[in-house]
Amino acid sequence: MADRAEPPRRAEGPSDPSGDPAAAPAVDPTADPTPDPAADPTPDPTADPGGAIPGDVDAVTHAVLAASRLLVAISVRALAAVPDRVTLPQYRLLVVLDTHGDAKLVEVAERLGVNPSTAMRMLDRLIAAGLAARRSNPASRRETLLRLTPDGRRLVDEVSAARRREITAIVERLPPEQRADLVTALTAFTEAGGEPPAPVGDSEPYPLGWSDTHARQSDDGPEDRPDNRPDNRLGP
């Protein structure tokens, strides 16, 4: 007796929940097994909602500008808290005198990056408020030097202290790992901008966040400046 022929086997494919093999979808042998990234619903953890990744130049620039607005707002609030109302540019002039000591008008204007006439108008207001004063140069009676009065120095110290307190309060709200990351990021940013690092041991190296990279030292060295303060204590 001849052997009984077996019926042909059906090709195996994805099973159907109903249990009917005929209802299972056919498998296309020519289909590309590579998954489609666009069809993957898993979000990219590095993606930015605006379309930029964290390391993108535009994303970093946006973050720095947002931080700078906060720092300027802190500085303005610190100025508003002192009894002697001065503008931010006027305070910057006081910081120049506090940092570098007595100076000629042309030197003050150069350090501020303004015209001498603009510096003179600011000085006239500060002198009228008792925060700055003029005196003759002992080395040359024909020259006039500008100096900070005790009230002017007190104002600089009060504003710097208020600014530092508010920044410290913000930093304390960050977790320790974010504080460390912030130190690394800000140090890299200031170095890329050509700013010197904050002097070790100076609790308030930059009264309003900007340093004087073009400050001059006298022939006698840093000891010639009041309180032996570093040259990079220039406000904005």
Residues 168-199: tens digit of each pLDDT? 999 999 999 999 999 999 999 999 998 777 66
Q: What is the pLDDT of residue 229?
A: 41
The closest alpha carbon to 160, from 203, 214, 97, belongs to 203
The closest alpha carbon to 208, from 67, 79, 60, belongs to 79
The closest alpha carbon to 102, from 128, 134, 129, belongs to 134
**In this structure, what token pair is assigned to residue 187?**
């140090």
Q: How many CB atoms lie within 10 A of CB 74?
A: 19
Residues 105-141: tens digit of each pLDDT? 999 999 999 999 999 999 999 999 999 999 988 877 7
How many angstroms separate the CA atoms of 101 and 233, rounded?
Answer: 12
The closest alpha carbon to 97, from 136, 124, 132, 50, belongs to 132
Min mean pLDDT across 72-81, 122-131, 197-206 is at 197-206
Q: How many CB atoms lie within 10 A of CB 132?
A: 23
Q: What is the pLDDT of residue 192?
A: 92
DSSP H helices, 43-104, are 57-80, 88-100
Element (H, E) at 143: strand 140-148
How many angstroms separate the CA atoms of 103 and 59, rounded?
Answer: 42
Residue recorded with tokens 């307190």 = 165
Q: What is the pLDDT of residue 83?
A: 82
Q: Which residues contact 212 (CB under 8 A, 6 or more apart)?
A: 96, 99, 111, 231, 232, 233, 234
List the domains of the chain with CATH numbers: 74-193+203-212 (1.10.10.10)
Q: Is the pTM of this model over 0.95?
A: no
The closest alpha carbon to 161, from 82, 51, 62, belongs to 82
The closest alpha carbon to 90, from 138, 40, 133, 132, belongs to 132
Residues 20-60: tens digit of each pLDDT? 555 555 555 555 555 555 555 555 544 555 555 556 999 99
